[in-house]
Chains A and B, each alone.
Chain A
C-alpha cells in the first residue's frame, strides 16, 4: 500500500530577526543579520557577546515555554482549518530541544526565584507534554534530542508518525534558549567567534549562539486543498569518530545525504538548492564542503546558510532553517549567507553570498550535523 505524503501546512517562528514568519522572510530576502552584542555575555567570563537573541517577555521566567508556545500559536493559526479538521486524538506533537528550560537550573543554583513551570520545564519531556496538552494534541508525543540535528530528526519523526497512521497531523516544535549555561559551555570549548559567526568565510573562527522557537504543522497531504511543500525524505548517520568534532573527510555527512537521496528516489542532479548547517567553525564548514563535493562533485549547486542571521539555535536550528527553506521555495528565491565576506578556499563553488530570485525550487536539501557525530539530511519537495 502506498504511504501518504506529508506536507507542511503552517509555520511559526520567533528568532533573532523578530516574531513571526514575515520578519524571517524579509531578513532572508535582505540578507539581514539578527546577531547583536548582548551585555550579559561580556568578557572576561564569556569568549564573545555576539548572539542571536529573540524577543522575550521579561515577566516570564520560562523562556523555553514562551518561545515554543509563541511559535506554535503562529503555526497553528497558519494551518487554520486544515489542522482544526484533524481530531485531537490524531494530532501528535514532536518537540526538538537540546536544553529545554536550562535557565531554571541557573536560577535554582543561584537561589533566585524560579516558578514551578520554569522548574518543571527543565525536563524536556514535561515541556513537550505541557505543550501538547495546551495545544490540543492528544495523539503521540515525542521529545527528540539528537544534538544540533534534533530539528531535522523531529520533522522526520513527525512524518513517520503520519506515514504509519499513528497521526494525521503533527505539531513539530524546535526550541532552545540563550543561557549562561550554553554560552559558558561554548566558551569552555573556545568555539565562539569574538566578531560573530561568519559561515564559510576565509576568516571564520567559531559560531555565535542563538535562540529561537520554531514550529511547523505537518499533515497528511490529502488534507491539504492546495499544493504545499512536501517532507520527502530523511537520511541520518553517525561519524563514529569524535564526540565534539566532525569527521575531517565529510564521509559521515555524505552517508546521510546519500541515504536521503536514496529514500527520496532522486539523483543529486535533481537537487536545486542546499541549505547548509554552516556553523562558522573551521572544522564544520570544511567538513561540510568536502561532503558536498563527494556527492555533488564540482557542480555549481546553490548553497547558503542562515547562522550568520540567526546564530546557532541548537535544537531549534533544524526547524527554523527548514522554515527558511519553505519560504525560499514558496517565494522563489535563494537565501544568501549573511556575514560572509570572502569565501574560504574549498568552499562549495555555488556558495550564494546575496539572495537572488529564481524561477523555481523543486527539491531542496537541508543539512545539519551535531556533537556525538550525528548527521542529518532532509529533502523537501515542491511540485
Chain B
C-alpha cells in the first residue's frame, strides 16, 4: 500500500481573520468559508505544482452551516427580503466551493457534517484509490453565539487544515489509525514551533 504524507498543517481562529489578505471577495464570505479559506492559505502550499483536477477537498463542519442558517433566517424580514448572497452560504459545502474557486482546485469533493473523525480515513481512501494525488483536508468548528443558543452549544470559530499527498516528502506519514485531525494539527504546530 502506498504511503500518504502530511505535507502541511494549520489552525486558525476568528482572531486571525482581520489579518487575512485573500482578495476583495473575502469580506463577503460567511465566517465558516473565511476560516476554511484562511486555514488552507496558511498551509503555504503551492498547489500549482499539481494539476488542479488531481487535488481533492475533504471537509467536515462540526455544526454544518447552522450559524449562517440562523443569520440568514434572522434577516428574512429586512427591507429587500432575505439575502441571496447569504443563502448561498447556507450549505456546509459552500466553504469547499470557496476553497476550490480561490485555489482553482477542480478535483473531487467530500463534505460531511459532524466531527473530524471521518476526514482522514476518507481522504486517505480517496488517495489510495487514485481518485486524486493530493487532498486538502479541512475541519471547521463554527458556532456563533446566536446559533449556540438554538443548538445549546458553546460558541467557537476555528478551522484546521492538513494537506495530504501520495508519496510526497512531508512532515510525517499518515498512519492507519490517525483520526483526530484537530489534535494532529495541534501536534504538528507544536512540533514545528519547538523545532
Which residues from chain A sit less than 8 Å from chain B, CB to CB? Answer: 98-100, 102, 105-106, 108-109, 119, 122-125, 128, 142-147, 153, 157, 160, 164, 181, 184-190, 235-244, 252, 255-256, 259, 370-374
CB distance from A44 to the nearest CB of B (A): 10
A124 and B113: CB pair below 8 A? Answer: yes
Bitwise interface map of B from 76 to 115 toward A, beta carbon under 8 Å scored 1, else 0? 1000011110011011111011101101111111111111
**Which residues of B from 18 to 73 have beta carbons under 8 Å from A?**
52-53, 57, 61, 63-64, 66, 69-70, 72-73
CB distance from B60 to the nearest CB of A (A): 9
B97 and A123: CB pair below 8 A? Answer: no
Q: Which residues of A contact B169 (CB under 8 A)?
A: none
A240 and B106: CB pair below 8 A? Answer: yes
* Interface residue? B118 (CB, 8 A): yes
Residue from the list B52, B76, B98, B105 in contact with A243, Cβ < 8 A:
B98
19 further interface pairs, Cβ-Cβ under 8 Å (given A128-B114, A238-B109, A243-B101): A98-B91, A105-B70, A106-B73, A122-B66, A122-B150, A122-B151, A123-B64, A125-B64, A143-B112, A145-B61, A146-B111, A147-B93, A153-B109, A153-B110, A189-B84, A237-B109, A240-B52, A240-B104, A244-B88
Q: Give bound CA distance, A106 to B82, whole Å.
A: 14
Bitwise interface map of B from 160 to 186 toward A, beta carbon under 8 Å scored 1, else 0? 000000000000000000000000000
Q: Which residues of B contact A123 (CB under 8 A)?
A: 63-64, 66, 113, 151
Residue from the list B104, B112, B151 in contact with A144, Cβ < 8 A:
B112
A238-B97, A239-B106, A243-B98 known; A371-B122 Cβ under 8 A: no
CB distance from B61 to the nearest CB of A (A): 8
Give 28 CB contacts A-B under 8 Å: A100-B64, A105-B70, A109-B73, A109-B74, A119-B150, A125-B64, A125-B113, A142-B118, A144-B111, A145-B113, A147-B93, A153-B110, A157-B122, A164-B125, A188-B82, A188-B84, A188-B87, A236-B108, A238-B57, A238-B109, A241-B101, A243-B97, A255-B106, A259-B131, A372-B96, A374-B96, A374-B97, A374-B109
A124 and B64: CB pair below 8 A? Answer: yes
A184-B82, A185-B82 known; A235-B87 Cβ under 8 A: no
Q: Which residues of B contact A374 (CB under 8 A)?
A: 93, 96-97, 109
Q: Give bound CA distance, A371 to B131, whole Å.
A: 21
Q: Which residues of B contact A184 (CB under 8 A)?
A: 76, 81-82, 87
Q: Which residues of B contact A235 (CB under 8 A)?
A: 108
- What total count of A-B pairs have CB within 8 Å? 152
CB distance from B50 to the nearest CB of A (A): 14
Q: Which residues of B contact A100 (CB under 8 A)?
A: 64
Q: Which residues of B contact A144 (CB under 8 A)?
A: 110-112
A105 and B108: CB pair below 8 A? Answer: no
Which chain A residue has the least Cβ–Cβ distance from B70?
A105
Q: Which residues of B contact A105 (CB under 8 A)?
A: 69-70, 73, 150
Q: Give bound CA distance, A189 to B84, whole Å.
A: 5
Q: Which residues of A contact B122 (CB under 8 A)?
A: 157, 160
Q: Give bound CA distance, A199 to B97, whole Å.
A: 25
Q: Give bound CA distance, A301 to B85, whole Å.
A: 37
Q: Give bound CA distance, A329 to B111, whole Å.
A: 30
Q: Give bound CA distance, A178 to B125, whole Å.
A: 35
B91 and A371: CB pair below 8 A? Answer: yes
CB distance from A216 to the nearest CB of B (A): 19
Q: Which residues of A contact B66 (CB under 8 A)?
A: 122-123
Q: Give bound CA distance, A259 to B106, whole Å.
A: 12
Q: Give bound CA distance, A242 to B94, whole Å.
A: 11
Which of A147, A187, A235, A255 has the most chain B CB atoms inside 10 A of its CB? Answer: A147
Which chain B residue has the least Cβ–Cβ distance from A102?
B69
A105-B150, A123-B151, A187-B81 known; A146-B110 Cβ under 8 A: yes
B151 and A259: CB pair below 8 A? Answer: no
A100-B64, A144-B111, A252-B106 known; A243-B94 Cβ under 8 A: yes
Q: Give bound CA distance, A370 to B94, whole Å.
A: 10
A146 and B82: CB pair below 8 A? Answer: no
A125 and B106: CB pair below 8 A? Answer: no
Q: Give bound CA distance, A261 to B150, whole Å.
A: 44
A241-B101, A370-B93, A374-B93 known; A188-B106 Cβ under 8 A: no
CB distance from A227 to the nearest CB of B (A): 26
Q: Give bound CA distance, A105 to B66, whole Å.
A: 9
Q: Which residues of B contact A122 (CB under 8 A)?
A: 66, 150-151
Residue from the list B61, B81, B96, B107 in contact with A188, Cβ < 8 A:
B81
Which of B70, B104, B113 has the most chain A CB atoms inside 10 A of its CB? Answer: B113
Which chain A residue has the least Cβ–Cβ distance from B66?
A122
A373 and B101: CB pair below 8 A? Answer: yes
Q: Give bound CA distance, A371 to B98, whole Å.
A: 11
Q: Which residues of A contact B84 (CB under 8 A)?
A: 185, 188-190
A145 and B93: CB pair below 8 A? Answer: yes
Q: Which residues of A contact B94 (CB under 8 A)?
A: 243, 371-372
